[in-house]
Amino acid sequence: MSWKPYVTTARLALREAATYRLNHFLSFVVAAVPLIALLLLWNTLLGPQQRLAGFTRGEMLTYFILTRWLYELTGPVVWWDIAYEIREGDLIFHLLRPEWYSGYHFALIIGSKLPYALVGLAVAAPFAVSVGAGWVWPQGVAAWAAFALSVVLAVALAYQFTFLASLTAFWLEDNKAMNLLMDFVVPLAAGALLPLDVFPSAVATALRALPFAQLLYFPALVYLGRVDPGGWWAGVAQQVGWLVALLLINGWVWRRGLRRFRAVGG
Amino acid sequence: MGYYLRLWWHWARLSLGRESLFRGNAWLRLVGHALWLGTAWAFFAALYLHVPAIAGWRPAEVWLLIAVNELAQLLYSMFVGQGVLWIPDLIWQGELDSILLKPAAPLFTLSVGRMRLYNAPSLALPMALGGYALHTLGLQPSWGQWLWFGLLLALGVAARYALTLAVVSLAFWVTRVYAMPALLAELFRLAGYPEGIFRGAMRALFTWGVPVLVVANFPTTALLGRAGWQPGAEAALAVGFWCVVALALWRAGLRRYAAVGG
Mean pLDDT estimate for chain B = 89
Residue A80: which H helix or E strand, with range?
helix A80-88
Return d(Cα B247, Cα B111) in angstroms, integer: 13
Return d(Cα B206, Cα B187) in angstroms, integer: 9
Amino acid A1: pLDDT: 64
Return d(Cα A29, Cα B186) in angstroms, integer: 10
Confidence label for B261 from pLDDT (cuts 50, 70 and 90) = very low
Amino acid A3: pLDDT: 77
Q: Considering CB atoms only, which of B32, B183, B202 is closest to A30?
A: B183
- List chain B residues with CB under 8 Å of A40: 193, 197-199, 202
Q: Integer distance in angstroms from the first to the last C-alpha of chain B?
A: 34
Q: Domain map of chain A by residue range?
A: 4-260
pLDDT tens for each residue of chain A, 266 residues long: 677 777 787 777 777 766 666 666 666 677 677 788 888 888 888 865 578 888 988 999 999 999 989 998 899 988 888 999 998 888 888 888 888 898 999 998 988 888 778 878 888 888 899 888 889 999 999 999 999 999 999 999 999 999 999 999 898 877 777 888 888 889 999 999 899 999 999 999 999 999 999 999 999 999 999 999 999 999 999 999 999 999 999 999 999 999 888 766 54
Amino acid A183: pLDDT: 84
Supply the DSSP string of A104-169, one letter for each residue. Answer: HHHHHHHHHHHHHHHHHHHHHHHHHHHHGGG-----HHHHHHHHHHHHHHHHHHHHHHHHHHHHGG
Amino acid A117: pLDDT: 83
Amino acid A266: pLDDT: 44
Lowest mean pLDDT across A226-230, B66-70, B190-194: B190-194
On the question of pLDDT at B234 being above 50, the answer is yes
C-alpha distances (whole Å) from B197 to each of A42, A63, B192, B213, B242 are 9, 19, 11, 11, 24
Top-confidence residue, B81 or B133: B133
Amino acid A63: pLDDT: 95
The dihedrals phi and psi of B57, each to the nearest 5 degrees, come to: -95, 125
Amino acid B115: pLDDT: 85
CB contact under 8 A, A45 and B47: yes
- List chain B residues with CB under 8 Å of A177: 28
Residue A55: which H helix or E strand, with range?
strand A55-56
Question: ipTM, 2 decimals?
Answer: 0.81
Q: Domain map of chain B by residue range?
A: 2-256
Helix (H, G, I), strand (E, B) or coil at A52: strand
Q: Which whole number is the average pLDDT over B239-247? A: 95
C-alpha distances (whole Å) from B256 to each of A81, B25, B97, B251 are 37, 40, 13, 9
On the question of pLDDT at B181 being above 80, the answer is no
Choosing among A180, A181, A201, which should be mutated to test the B contact, i.e. which has the most B CBs within 10 A? A180
- List chain B residues with CB under 8 Å of A188: 39, 42
CB B27 within 8 A of CB B124: no
